[in-house]
């Protein structure tokens, strides 16, 4: 029955996408056979008024109709251009996470249930919602700390959003399994694995204690950074369903007129935004991964305050070195070094030729250097780079794709503030400084120190490794003598899982077919 419900929800989602013109906006002329027939039917059933909208507007309207979980799905797929294509990823990245507010009384009930205290014991004042997104909404409130009345922002999880999301998640898994089963060419994109990643990231985002921890970590790492900060967290009033943090007084970065009226230097803000983002990425390996202008405020002194840290990105040392060296290599036109970094990081298989890869990278870099610096997009460069690396069997790197998506958004915000923004001139001090500090003599010393620690840790594990090796050797000998065997319970579980998978797929296909027949009958 769960599969039947997932099938109905999947059909409804497809119908909404058809009616709002999202399917019709896809490049269907390039298709053939049944896919092209389906695309033509979708155009036939599209609302007339939807045809007048741009594709991004059609997407936004469809997502609003489908509900909060589809907003998160769209935002997640925006980080996977390898799955949906670059153009669609850009449209999805522009989705504004704005939803209708829910009643204040429901927010109060959620807070009291999460913290186990009455609302009057937690806040001296608790106001109406001031903003609402797909997963939570924010209220203005007031607390008394050290005898001083303090204004705070209270983020509360939307009631029922977990249940609704995990119901829709069943539909996503059903679609992914059907795609893998009936569209062999899509298997390399691992749709089921992509859906599992979506499920995990959203579970994290729906626990506000984890967002509070991310705010705390970013706050510590940026404590001494000029012109950038995040709100402080009130841990006493924070739980799974509620996050209380410092209230931010400032102008939203999407309010250009408001920024100008407040006397801010827009060019300086754009520079500060990009350098702060690169500093967090390269220096800390931890960055705010949802830096759209609605999440960025500018205080009276010009400081940027970033809120809503439900999505955060992390880069290891190898990835940071990779990013810094490829950016610096493009700046200095050292394409061979850019290619070598890909091989050193293990991103491109060794069977490929470094010089041939450098030639492909040159094809990206040289046209860019022929343009005025203020027109060069670093985000577009990374997009082109990932397209070329696919030709050389570079596996998808989720952390780099999240970085690319965030850079697209941040760079877009900077160019909105300053249309003549020079990305390369702005980023060179941060990128060059990181390289000199981490790849020069100091970097070698740090690498040697890290290597020594790793060697010491390995030596400590030698006795345990010896025991594991002996145990593995005995198990291999037994396997060679008697063969690989399953116990009875394992074999029975495999049989049940296979039967359930096949039965669920058949039921879902019948549900979809019957629903489409019903829709066609109602229309005609």
- Active-site residue list: 290
- CA 372/CA 2 separation, integer angstroms: 57
Q: Which residues contact 219 (CB under 8 A, 6 or more apart)?
A: 229, 230, 231, 232, 233
Closest to 92 measured CA to CA, from 104, 76, 107: 76
Q: Which residues pair with 141 in a beta bridge?
A: 126, 152
Q: What share of the chain is helix, strand, coil (3-state, %, to 5)?
A: 65, 10, 25
For the chain, the first-to-last Cα distance in angstroms comes to: 30
435 class by beta-carbon count within 10 Å (0-12 exposed, 13-18 middle, 19+ buried): middle
- CA 315/CA 402 separation, integer angstroms: 10
- CA 15/CA 9 separation, integer angstroms: 10
- CA 435/CA 424 separation, integer angstroms: 15
Question: What are the start-end ranges of the H helices in 253-334?
Answer: 256-261, 266-279, 317-332
Strands 304-306 and 228-229 turn out to be parallel
In Å, how far are 230, 400, 442 from 433, measured between CA atoms?
24, 21, 12
The half-sphere exposure of 164 on its side-chain side, counting CA atoms within 13 A, is 16
């Amino acid at each position: 029955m769960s599969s039947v419900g997932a099938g109905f929800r999947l059909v409804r989602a497809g119908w909404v996408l058809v009616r709002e013109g999202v399917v019709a906006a896809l490049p269907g002329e390039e298709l053939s056979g049944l896919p092209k027939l389906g695309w033509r039917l979708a155009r036939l059933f599209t609302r007339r008024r939807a045809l007048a909208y741009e594709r991004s507007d059609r997407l936004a309207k469809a997502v609003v109709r489908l509900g909060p979980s589809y907003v998160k799905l769209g935002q997640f797929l925006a980080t996977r251009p390898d799955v949906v294509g670059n153009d669609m990823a850009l449209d999805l990245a522009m989705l504004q996470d704005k939803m209708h507010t829910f009643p204040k009384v429901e927010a109060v009930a959620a807070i009291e249930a999460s913290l186990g205290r009455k609302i009057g014991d937690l806040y001296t004042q608790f106001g109406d919602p001031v903003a609402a997104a797909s997963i939570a909404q924010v209220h203005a409130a007031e607390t008394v700390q050290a005898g001083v009345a303090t204004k705070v922002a209270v983020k509360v999880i939307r009631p029922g959003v977990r249940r609704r999301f995990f119901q829709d998640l069943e539909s996503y898994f059903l679609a992914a399994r059907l795609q893998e089963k009936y569209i062999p060419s899509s298997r390399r994109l691992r749709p089921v694995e992509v859906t599992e990643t979506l499920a995990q990231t959203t579970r994290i985002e729906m626990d506000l204690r984890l967002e509070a921890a991310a705010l705390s970590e970013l706050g510590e790492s940026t404590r001494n950074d000029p012109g950038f900060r995040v709100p402080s967290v009130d841990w006493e009033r924070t739980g799974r369903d509620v996050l209380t943090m410092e209230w931010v007084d400032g102008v939203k970065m999407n309010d250009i007129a408001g920024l100008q009226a407040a006397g801010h230097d827009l060019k300086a803000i754009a520079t500060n935004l990009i350098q702060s983002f690169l500093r967090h990425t390269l220096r800390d390996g931890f960055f705010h991964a949802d830096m759209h202008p609605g999440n960025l405020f500018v205080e009276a002194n010009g400081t940027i305050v970033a809120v809503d840290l439900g999505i955060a990105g992390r880069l290891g040392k190898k990835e940071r070195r990779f990013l810094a060296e490829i950016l610096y290599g493009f700046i200095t036109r050292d394409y061979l070094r850019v290619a070598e970094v890909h091989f050193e990081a293990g991103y491109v298989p060794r069977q490929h030729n470094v010089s041939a890869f450098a030639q492909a990278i040159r094809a990206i870099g040289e046209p860019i250097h022929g343009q005025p610096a203020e027109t060069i997009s670093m985000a577009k460069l990374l997009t082109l780079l990932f397209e070329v690396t696919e030709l050389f069997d570079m596996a998808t790197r989720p952390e780099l794709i999240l970085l690319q998506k965030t850079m697209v958004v941040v760079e877009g915000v900077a160019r909105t503030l300053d249309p003549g923004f020079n990305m390369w001139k702005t980023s060179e001090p941060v990128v060059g400084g990181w390289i000199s500090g981490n790849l020069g003599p100091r970097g070698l010393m740090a690498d040697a120190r890290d290597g020594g620690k790793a060697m010491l840790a390995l030596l400590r594990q030698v006795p345990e490794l010896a025991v594991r090796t002996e145990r593995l050797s005995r198990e291999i000998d037994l396997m060679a003598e008697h063969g690989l065997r399953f116990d009875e319970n394992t074999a029975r579980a495999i049989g049940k899982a296979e039967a359930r998978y096949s039965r669920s797929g058949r039921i879902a296909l019948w549900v979809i077919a019957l629903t489409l027949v019903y829709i066609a009958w109602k229309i005609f």
